[in-house]
Structure 1
Amino acid sequence: MSTITFSGLATGLDTESLISSLIEVERAPVTLLESKVEYLEARNETYSNCNTLLGELASAVNAFDSASDFNSWQVLTASSAPFSATVGGYAKAGSYQVEVLSLARQQKDISAEGFVSSTTAELSGSLIIGETTLTYENQSLMDLADLINDADTGVTASIIDDGSDAGLRLVLTADNAATTPDILGSGSISIDSARDGHTLEGSLARLMVDGIEITSDSNTVTGAIYGVSLDLTGLSSDGAQLVQVKSDPNAIVEKIDSFVSTYNEFLTFIDEASAADSSLGTTFRGIERKLQTLLSNRSSTSGSYNSLAALGFTTDSKSGELSYDSTTLSTALSTNLSDLQSLFVGDADSPGLAKQISSYLDDQLDSSTGFSASRIASNDANIERLNTSIERMETRLEKREETLTAQFNALELLVSELNSQSEYITSFFEKYNDD
């Protein structure tokens, strides 16, 4: 409920400004609490950014903290080959001769009838697709297509337009090349594939791998070459072509390079956080020191490399940024991959460097007890407490303002009454003197 004020009508005082100034003074504790809330919210944002970077660092180191991560392969094919190839981490090195004899294609059946509209409810009849019978009455072509697609018959219904006046036709396409159901339609849609054959007969893909014929119901062939997927795009016109599966050392380099760049990005973040808030920076330095300790640890596993320094890794004395000698690392990848793996992965009794860093980061990223999560939770609790205090204080200030307004209004009324009495007395004596 709003309060009517009479600002200075009798006293000549700017009572609204006076009340506003008094409330502003009394509001100082609220302003202080609001500043604390803003400070904690800013800290939480920084902690959240820290958590994001730690998550990215964990993802980077997780890319080479297990033995399978070092099984990186590449597959090579001629650019003219009628297929492309991709390789998984479980492939084996080898060379293969591949020849594509035929591509997989799906069976198609197209209605003999054409229709003017796809939305007019004018169709009635039945369709037998494989072992499923569908009955429809007063349905549009669109509704019939939806009915077929919802029935899970092994075919997909669609509509084509051949451009003529009644050019809309129903098309039934098998879900894959191995699905070849007979189709019998009566009524508005007449199809008899058993009698007339299919509009387009389905067929399996056929290819030769090292002289062995392989069939597939898809043009994406997996399993013909262990760990390799072949995407067939055409037929082999020049006979078999070579597919080579080889180790890919560059993949390991990319993983390590990603970790190094992410680690250095985290150090930059700490520097910026420290510049903005020295106490917060001190908190983050604890993580930095732990990571530096882990990076400088010596591995107790056997092998040619027992530390990152042996691989050509160095740490800048001022910035702490990590770098490595690409030649030394490439030599290790090409000549001592197992020893490199041992350094980063280790074994059950002695975890490698990447494994140790991964474990430490997992602890820091725990959603309850992790570095940022625990601090954000504590700050959130304090923010909630402060906001509750602010609400109570704001309520008291509102009541205080109402009280002051009422008091000043009373003062105005009192002064107004006194002024009226003064005017009356003055008028009385003036009249008396005149008489």
Structure 2
Amino acid sequence: MRITGLASGMDTESIIKDLMKAQRIPLDKIMQKKQYMEWQRDDYRSANKKLFDFRTLTSDTMIRQSTYIQKTVTSSAPDDISVKNVNSTSDFTGKINVKQLAEAATMQSTERVLASDADLTKKLKDLNVTVPTSFTIKTIKADGTLDKDGYIVKLDENSTMQSVLDDINKNSGVNAFYDSFTGKMAFTAKNSGELAKTIAADGTITNNNPSEIIIEGDTNNFLKLEDAVATDGKNAIFIYNGLETQRQSNTFQINGFEVSLKKASNTDITFSSAPDTDKILASVTKFVDEYNKLIENLNSEIREKKYRDFHPLSTEQKADMKEKEIELWEEKAKSGTLRNDSVLSNALGQLRSALNSAVSGVAGADRLSEIGISTSSNYMENGKLVIDETKLRKAISDDPNQVYELFAADGATDSEKGLARRLVATLDETRKKVIEKAGTDSAVNTTFSLGRTLKGYDDQISRFELRLQNIETRYFKQFSAMESVILRANNQSSYLMNAFGGGQ
């Protein structure tokens, strides 16, 4: 806390403040450079985010075969069977006659397990029920064989019926249900169908495990299963294109398409597939649209005008301006941070080259133009892609696999790689260079080039602020010394005045 100007009557604070403004000019320039570089870093990261988003779209859509194998399937009886494509690259037709639906094995207790008013959350010992320490559930597995080891259900005095049910349903191969009305337990195998049979060389069919649900170790007959009512599982029986066959489940795959049986109608049901042109077209169109947005954004960045007379504002400058004035000023000050940037300029050239080159070794179309996608003739659009929807739709409808190969072929050389794979490689390389220059949101300054420069600015600012503090302290000392001299002079003058006046 300083009290100045008592002797001189001068506004020392204001004088020193004005003197320090001149001293702060070099510091303000350093802080302006730092601010501009922070804007540049943020713009690089924003561009990197756009590159990443487009790279993700390209990888997840244009390189995945699932994008191109989408099909529409028609059925003469969709309420009886449903058919959908899973991974078939070619169209399929067929005829199915369903004789029998698959069913899961069941087992029910013959006597009441708990009293009708029993609380399933109470401990079994409090319900006057004697329980075994454990029992084992064996049942049919997804491959049709018996789980010979089974799942061991462990019980103790603190077990409740609810905890036993939860354990069975979560960990074993059956679903258990306690019916409070009848007081009985019911079990249903999670996997439907019959146990797989062993066929000997002479054609004899044997099955050493006749039951799909086996419960062992219930020594106290806790589950009341001594004379359990059980029904065996059944396989689905159907005729597919003249061949009678079976499946454990009502949902299964044949040649890359999935069939779901819903009803045993004993009638011939026909189905056929065709490429889902609309969905495939939508995916390709979205890719083209996002590509056009990306190159438009990158071109705007490298061509954005730089206003050299508009520097970042200092705190003192902002204090003298209105909010709208600050906003308009900084809009121009931030402009052009990536103007003529070599990394982004090279990336744009490589992206255009990747899409305009032919793909060697693919059957059918080897260029975008052959499937209805071409580069805009308007040079002002900087290489945007234009879609001839009629031509692209026909290419997809005729052979969606050739479109897949054009984009996703995984050749040994660059010329043999699909267009989308080339784009991904270019995007990855560009992002690597941008990250080396501007880092990521979680990166520390010492790990990228702009960050290291920013750290250097921070060090300069710290040293300069310390220097300014010393200068300001020196000014106050100098003015304080001046005040002391003036005060002594005033005292001497008063003394002399008093002395001369006294002599008269």
Is this a same-fold pair by TM over 0.5? Answer: yes
Residue in 2 that maps onto 1:425? 495
Whole-angstrom distance in 2 between the partners of 1:204 and 1:45: 64
Aligned CA distance change for structure 1 residues 93 and 342 (closer, same or farther; 3 Å): closer
1:261 aligns with 2:282: no
Q: Using a 3 Å threshold, how does the CA distance of structure 1 residues 246 and 214 change in structure 2: closer, same or farther?
A: farther
Kindly indicate whether the alpha-carbon contact (under 8 Å) linking 1:67 and 1:341 is maintained by their aligned counterparts in 2: yes
Matching residue of 1:44: 41
Query: Aligned in 2, Cα 1:80/1:345: closer, same or farther, shift over 3 Å?
Result: closer
Which residue in 2 is equivalent to 1:372?
A: 434
Q: Report the Cα distance in structure 2 between the residues aligned to 1:35 and 1:169, rounded to whole angstroms.
A: 81
1:287 and 2:286 aligned = no
Q: What amino acid is aligned across from residue 236 of structure 2 in structure 1?
A: R
Alignment of 1:314-333 (within 5 A): 314-317=375-378, 318-319=380-381, 320-333=383-396
Question: Cα offset for 1:46?
Answer: 2.6
Q: Is 1:393 aligned with 2:456?
A: no
Q: What percent of counterpart residues are identical?
A: 18
Deviation of 1:17 (Å): 4.0
Q: TM-score normalized by structure 2?
A: 0.64
CA distance in 2, matches of 1:25, 1:83: 86
Q: CA deviation at 1:5?
A: 1.8
Distance of aligned partners of 1:141 and 1:70 in 2 relative to their CA distance in 1, 3 Å threshold: closer
Task: Measure the CA separation in 2 of the matches of 1:32 and 1:202.
Answer: 86
Match 1:134 to one of 148, 154, 157 = 154
Specify the SS of the correspondent of 1:90: coil
Q: How many residue pairs were aligned?
A: 417
> Offset at 1:262?
1.4
Instruction: Tell me the residue number matched to 1:180.
Output: 213
| Cα contact 1:183–1:191 (8 A) shared by 2 | no
Cα displacement (A) at 1:136: 1.5
- Listed one character per residue, the Cα deviations across residues 51-86 of structure 1 (whole Å, up to 9, x for unaligned) are 333334444555445888755544334684255443
- Indicate which of 273, 291, 306 corresponds to 1:245: 273
Q: Which moved more, 1:384-393 or 1:111-120?
A: 111-120
Change beyond 3 A, Cα 1:301–1:135: closer
Residue 112 of structure 1 pairs with residue 141 of structure 2:
no
Counterpart of 2:238 in structure 1 is 208
* In structure 2, C-alpha distance between the alignment counterparts of 1:161 and 1:10, rounded to whole Å: 101
- Cα distance in 1 for partners of 2:10, 2:168 equals 84
- Per-residue deviation at 1:270? 2.2
Distance 1:171 1:411 in 2: 103
Superposed displacement of residue 142, structure 1: 6.2
| Unmatched 5+ stretches in structure 2 | 138-150, 194-211, 306-334, 439-447
Q: Cα distance, 1:281 vs. partner?
A: 4.0
Match of 1:383 in 2: 454
Give a deviation string over 1:309-362, Cα, whole Å, max 9, x none: 444424142213210212222333445667656655668477568725633541
Taking the aligned partners of 1:353 and 1:26, their CA distance within structure 2 comes to 64
Q: Counterpart of 1:379 in structure 2: which amino acid? A: L
Partner Cα distance (1:100, 1:53) in 2 = 55
Q: Indicate which of 368, 380, 384 corresponds to 1:308.
A: 368
Residue 294 of structure 1, CA deviation: 3.3
Q: Which amino acid aligns with 1:295?
A: L
- Taking structure 1 as reference, are residues 9 and 185 closer, same or farther at Cα in structure 2, changes over 3 Å only? farther
Aligned to 2:84: 86
Which of 2, 5, 23 is matched with 2:2 structurally?
5
* Distance in structure 2 (CA, Å) of the matches to 1:344 and 1:292: 14
Distance across 1 between alignment mates of 2:357 and 2:89: 33
RMSD: 4.7
What is the Cα deviation at residue 248 of structure 1?
3.8
Q: Give the secondary structure class of the aligned counterpart of 2:272.
A: strand
User: In the TM superposition, what whole-angstrom CA distance separates every residue of 1:124-170 from its partner, at most 9, and x where no partner exists?
Assistant: 844423262513223566666676678x4445789x896x9xx9999
1:297 is aligned to 357
Match of 2:143 in 1: none
Q: 1:92 to 1:345 in 2, by over 3 A?
A: closer
- List gaps (5 residues or longer) in structure 1: none
CA distance in 1, matches of 2:21, 2:299: 39
For the pair 1:54 / 2:112, whether they are aligned, the reply is: no
Superposed CA offset, 1:72-102 (max 9, x none): 5443346842554432233542223343843
User: Separation in 2 of the partners of 1:86 and 1:263?
Assistant: 31
Q: Give the match for residue 192 of structure 1.
A: 224
Does the CA contact (< 8 Å) of 1:118 and 1:142 recur in 2?
yes
Question: How far apart, in 2, do the equivalents of 1:48 and 1:64 lie?
Answer: 25
Identify the match of residue 228 of structure 1 among 257, 277, 290. Answer: 257
Equivalent residue of 2:158, what SS?
A: strand
Call closer, same or farther: CA 1:14–1:387 in 2, change over 3 Å. same
Counterparts of 1:38 and 1:55, CA distance in 2: 26
* Greater mean deviation of Cα atoms: 424-433 or 82-91: 424-433
| TM-score, with structure 1 as normaliser | 0.73
DSSP 3-state at the match of 1:138: coil
Q: For the structure 1 residues 40 and 424, does the alpha-carbon distance in structure 2 shift closer, same or farther, using more than 3 Å as the test?
A: same
- Aligned amino acid, residue 79 of structure 2: A
**Alpha-carbon distance between aligned partners in 2 of 1:336 and 1:147, rounded to the nearest angstrom:** 51
The one-letter code of the counterpart of 1:97 is K
User: Which SS does the other structure have where 2:263 is aligned?
Assistant: coil
- Letter of the 1:128 counterpart: F
Paired AA for residue 282 in structure 1:
N
